[in-house]
Structures are given as C-alpha cells and as structure tokens.
C-alpha cells in the first residue's frame, strides 16, 4: 500500500435555496481553492460524484467538467454516488503507483426539486418505488425499528444545529419545533479534496491527513431483508478500515436523520470520548452527493490544521444506511 493523504479540502458556503448558479459555477470556486492551496494545476486523476436526478437531466456531471480546465484531455471518471465513493475510486487509482495526485469533487443542488420524492427513485422499481415510499417514510420505518427516546433524538438535532451555526459553511438553522422526524435541510453546495501519494503529500502540506484505513460495505437493498435498527455494513466497514485500532478524537458521520447517528455510533463502536459531527453534520448542511465527501474533508481539515491527530469519517448511500464507507485519518 502506498501512503495516500488528503492535502487540501474546500467547500462552498452552502445555501438553503437556489442562488441561480449553474453547477460549474458552483464548483469552480472550490476547485480553484484547492488548486491554490496545493499549487497544483494538473492532477494525475480526477473523479467526481453527483446524481442526475437532482438536476433532472441526464449526464449532468459532464457539463460540470467545464469548471476543471479539462483540456488537453485529463484522466477523468465519475460515480453516480456521493463523492466519498469518488474519493475511494481515486484512492484505488493512486494505489496503482503511476500517478501521485488526484482531484475529487462532488456537488448537489437539492433546492431544484423535492428531495423527499426524488429519493424514491433510488428504490428498486419492482417492489418499493411503485409504492411511492419516500425518503421520510423509509427513514420513519428505520427510526421506529430503532425505537430511540424522543429526548435523545431531539438532543442530537439541537446539538447538530448549534454546531452548524458555528460553522461558516453550514446553514444557520433554528432549533427544531414539534416532535416529529426532523429531515435534513434542503442544501445546495459543493466540495473538493486533493489526494497526494508518496513524497508528494509532504511537499504540498506540512501536516498531511494520511488515509490509514478506507473501506466500504453494502447490505441488501430491500428494507424487509435487513434489521433496520442496526448497520451491519457500517460495522464491517469500520472494522475493515481499522477504526478501533486507536482512539477516535472526532467522527464525522453521514447521519441525515438523528436516529442514524445512534445506529452509526454503535456500528463504529464510538465511545463517549469521541466528538461527533462538530461541523454540524448533515442535519446542518446536506448538499446531497457532496455530504459524504464533506465528512471526509471536515475530518481531514482537523488534521491538516493540527487540531487533531486521529479522526474518522463516514459516508452513506442508499435507503436507510444501506451502503457505508468509513475512512480513518491520521496525522
């Protein structure tokens, strides 16, 4: 295995509404920011994560390439997933050994449509999607399966929203009212990360955030085939990534609903000493398809700026935490 590190991270100041920026206009500032920060203008590999259903247009990621200065032709790929999986692809590509740098970015404008029903389109077309099972519905089923106390759930939302207010990139959201399921906010935003391998990492920054573990696992798609109260795949990914090999100072979890944080804490075997989602997490800003990459970026940023030595990031995809990716970062 080659040493691969995150050497730069940038994200937009996310908004809760459509500002009118096109996707390339949204991406360009964060691409430029990581280029300036590393001094790199060309990368051995570029990979992005996005979802056509958010824009309602096929191959919407292609137009986003306009923000990259992709000529002469670059080596480029895309995942129709959260950009955390684009980072995974880039990490694998760097393991090949012939290139030393990679640019990873993700973006999403959830303000364009109704995310609650758009997420229905990720369900299987035979058994679940035809029922119109929407995002809140399947999250509600998982919350019921877990059966957590209302107070504990409310406290997670309150803490996330308060942390989000202290994070200049997240949304400024009031404490929730009412006693129902709190949905993640509508969010437009983008993020970018630069990976560097071998000696290059140390030349680009004084404190690279080394990826010491990176793994993802998936569970059956159909909700009725799983124990929704637990995340077996997150636990497996955490073990494979080596989360438990040392103390975890900070964990950034891709928990879009409060009950998901409880399930993930247990799956990752986090102790009370671990600070969870100091950025505010997805309950404070949820630019879908960038949210998972932002978790990795936030966890890396704390090592890049010397605040922490060992952090963990988690990203999720699919209904009810079906697919989980865990990253262990060390200074």
Partner 1 sequence: MPSDPLVAQHVLEFPGGYTRSTGPVVGRFLTELRERRIVGVRTGEGRVLVPPLEYDPATGDPVTDEYVEVGPAGTVTTWTWVGEPLGAHPVDVPFAWALIALDGADTALVHAVVPEHPKAMRTGMRVRPVWRERPTGHITDIRHFAPEVTRIVSPVRAEYRLRAGGSLGVFLAGVERGVLLGGRCERCAKVYVPYRTFCPECGGPIPDTLELPDTGTITTFAINNLPDPRAPEVPFVSAYILLDGADLPMIALVAGVPAHEVRQGMRVRAVWVPESERTASMANIRWFAPTGEPDVELS
Q: For binding to partner 1 (CB under 8 A), which residues are involved?
A: 20, 53, 56-57, 112, 116-117, 120, 125-128, 130-134, 137-138, 140-141, 143-145, 219-220, 222-225, 228
The nearer residue to partner 1, 73 or 224, going by C-beta atoms, is: 224
Cα distance between residue 38 and residue 204, in whole Å: 6
Residue among 187 and 322 whose Cβ is closer to partner 1 = 322
- The tokens for 157 are 């939302």
Query: By C-beta, is 53 or 169 nearer to partner 1?
Result: 53
Cβ 51 to partner 1, closest distance in Å? 12
Give the residue with the Cβ less far from partner 1, 149 or 273: 149
Distance between CA atoms of 289 and 291, rounded to whole angstroms? 6
Q: Residue 321: how many CB atoms within 10 A of its CB?
A: 28
Q: Are 229 and 256 in contact (CB under 8 A)?
A: no
Only one residue has tokens 């085939």, namely 225
Other CB atoms within a 10 A radius of the CB of residue 315 amount to: 29
Q: Which is nearer to partner 1, 37 or 116 (CB)?
A: 116
Closest distance between partner 1 and the C-beta of residue 220, in Å? 4
Q: How far is the CB of 238 from partner 1 (least distance, A)?
A: 20
Closest alpha carbon to 327 in 207, 213, 193 = 213
> Which residues, including other chains, have CB under 8 Å from residue 253's CB and lie 6 or more apart?
260, 261, 264, 265, 268, 276, 277, 281, 295, 314
In the complex with partner 1, the residue whose CB is nearer, 25 or 249, is 25
CA–CA separation, 220 vs 28, rounded Å? 37
CB of 42 to partner 1, least distance (A): 35
What does DSSP say about strands 275-276 and 250-252: parallel, antiparallel, or unpaired? Answer: parallel
Strands (E), 131-285: 188-197, 209-218, 250-252, 275-276
CB 112, min distance to partner 1, A: 8
CB of 145 to partner 1, least distance (A): 4
- Taking the C-alpha atoms of residue 210 and residue 331, their distance in angstroms, rounded to an integer, is 6
DSSP 3-state of 182 = coil
Residues 6+ apart with CB under 8 A from 131: none
Q: Specify the residue, 134 or 154, whose C-beta has the smaller distance to partner 1.
A: 134
Q: Please, what is the minimum distance in Å from the beta carbon of residue 56 to partner 1?
A: 4
Shortest CB 58 distance to partner 1, Å: 9
Pick between residue 218 and residue 240 the one whose CB is nearest to partner 1. 218
């Amino acid at each position: 295995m080659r040493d691969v590190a995150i050497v730069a991270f940038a994200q937009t100041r996310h908004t809760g509404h459509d500002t009118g920026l096109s996707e390339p206009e949204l991406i360009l500032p964060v691409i430029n920011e990581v280029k300036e920060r590393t001094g790199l203008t060309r990368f051995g590999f570029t990979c992005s994560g996005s979802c056509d259903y958010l824009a309602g247009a096929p191959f919407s990621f292609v137009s986003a390439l306009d923000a990259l200065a992709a000529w002469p032709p670059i080596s480029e790929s895309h995942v129709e997933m959260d950009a955390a999986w684009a980072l995974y692809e880039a990490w694998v590509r760097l393991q090949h050994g012939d290139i030393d740098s990679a640019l990873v970015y993700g973006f999403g404008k959830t303000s364009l449509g109704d995310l609650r029903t758009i997420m229905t389109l990720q369900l299987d077309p035979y058994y679940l999607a035809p029922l119109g099972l929407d995002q809140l519905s399947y999250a509600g089923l998982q919350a019921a399966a877990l059966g957590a106390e209302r107070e504990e759930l409310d406290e997670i939302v309150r803490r996330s929203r308060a942390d989000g207010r202290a994070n200049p990139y997240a949304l400024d959201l009031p404490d929730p009212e009412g006693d129902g399921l709190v949905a993640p906010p509508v969010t437009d935003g983008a993020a970018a990360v630069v990976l560097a391998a071998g000696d290059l990492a140390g030349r680009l920054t004084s404190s690279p955030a080394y990826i010491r573990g990176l793994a993802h696992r998936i569970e059956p798609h159909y909700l009725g085939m799983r124990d929704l109260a637990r995340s077996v795949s997150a636990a497996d990914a955490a073990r494979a990534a080596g989360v438990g090999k040392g103390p975890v100072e900070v964990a950034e979890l891709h928990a879009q609903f409060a009950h998901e944080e409880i399930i993930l804490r247990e799956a990752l075997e986090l102790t009370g000493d671990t600070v969870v989602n100091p950025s505010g997490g997805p309950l404070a800003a949820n630019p879908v398809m960038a949210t998972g990459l932002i978790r990795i970026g936030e966890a890396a940023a704390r090592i890049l700026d010397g605040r922490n030595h060992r952090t963990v990031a988690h990203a999720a995809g699919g209904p009810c935490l079906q697919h989980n990716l865990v990253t262990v970062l060390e200074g």
